[in-house]
Structures are given as C-alpha cells and as structure tokens.
C-alpha cells in the first residue's frame, strides 16, 4: 500500500495522535495561569529580581524600573493569583518572595510538553520511514 493510502487508514492516524493521559492533560490545563503570569516582560523581570535579591518590598522591586509602584503592585497581584509569589506584612510594608515550587511546576510542565513533542516526532519519523 502506498504511503498516501496508509495515511488515510485509521490505524496510521492513531499512531500519530497518541494523547497524554488525563492526569497530565489536567496538570497542563492547571498551568495556564502560571504561564500567563510568566508571559509578561515586566513580570519576568520581577521574577529575576526576586531570584537574585530574595524577598523584597514593592519599593525595592520598583527601584530602577521606570515603572510606577501601582503598576508593580498590579503585576505582583497577577503573580500572586497564579501562586508564583507570596507576601507577608512587615509593619506597613508587604514583603514579596518567589514561590520556588511554582517555578519547579513551570519547569515540569515544559518538560512534559517537550516529551510529548519528542514522542510525536518519533512516531512521525517511524511512520514516514516505514
């Protein structure tokens, strides 16, 4: 049978369409707010600052950015809602720190997606070469 004929068969399509298990798919859907929080240049800069400097107040995080405290507060709220940062009160200030577990989650999600693509490409290579 020609490859064109094989391509139209259901068994060949199933080889190329292996789906992730439900748990993995659910975990990846759960990661959307995390990646949305990481999908902004200023928020990535804040992550970088928190990694380098450790816990910091909004005043420290705002210094040298050219961005208002209100804008930084808004970014921190988005990051907090995704679980990326936590805060505690120290007197009248709020001290923000990075949640390392959520960064590890992001890394794990990227590794899962990368493995799924590697698997799909391997199946495609096998299909094309056979």
* Tens digits of residue pLDDT in 77-107: 999 999 999 999 999 999 999 999 988 888 8
In a domain, 32, yes or no: yes
pLDDT in tens, 6-62: 444 444 444 445 555 555 555 666 778 888 888 899 999 999 999 999 999 999 999
CA distances from 128 to 17, 19, 24, 58, 123 (A): 14, 20, 27, 55, 9
Number of domains in the chain: 1
Give the per-residue pLDDT at 32: 80
CA distance 39 to 49: 16
Banded pLDDT at 126 (limits 50, 70, 90): confident
Q: Is residue 5 part of a domain?
A: no
Spatial separation of the C-alpha atoms in residues 58 and 14, rounded to whole Å: 52
For residues 96 and 76, is the Cβ–Cβ distance under 8 A? yes
Instruction: Supply the pLDDT for residue 129.
Output: 86
Output phi, psi for 94, to 5 deg. -110, 130
- Asked if residue 12 is part of any domain, the answer here is no
- Domain that includes residue 76, residue range: 20-129
Output the pLDDT for position 22: 54
C-beta neighbour count of 86 within 10 angstroms: 14
pLDDT at 117: 83
Helices (H), 2-130: 3-8, 10-16, 22-30, 32-38, 41-53, 58-62, 69-81, 100-129
Percent helix, strand and coil across the chain, each to the nearest 5: 70, 10, 20
pLDDT at 29: 63
- CATH of residue 78: 1.10.10.10
Report if residue 11 sits inside a domain: no
Q: Is residue 46 part of a domain?
A: yes
Binned at pLDDT 50, 70 and 90, residue 127 comes out as confident
pLDDT of residue 27: 61
Can you tell me which residue has the tokens 């200023």?
42
């Amino acid at each position: 049978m020609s490859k064109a004929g094989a391509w139209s068969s259901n068994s060949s399509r199933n080889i190329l369409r292996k789906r992730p298990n439900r748990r993995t798919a659910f975990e990846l859907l759960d990661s959307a707010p995390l990646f949305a929080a990481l999908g902004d240049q200023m928020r990535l800069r804040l992550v970088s600052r928190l990694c380098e400097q450790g816990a910091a107040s909004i005043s420290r995080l705002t210094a040298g950015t050219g961005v208002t405290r209100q804008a930084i507060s808004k970014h921190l709220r988005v990051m907090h809602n995704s679980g990326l940062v936590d805060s505690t009160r120290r007197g009248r200030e709020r001290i923000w720190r990075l949640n390392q577990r959520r960064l590890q989650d992001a890394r794990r999600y990227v590794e899962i997606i990368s493995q799924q693509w590697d698997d799909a490409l391997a199946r495609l290579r096998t299909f094309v070469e056979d």
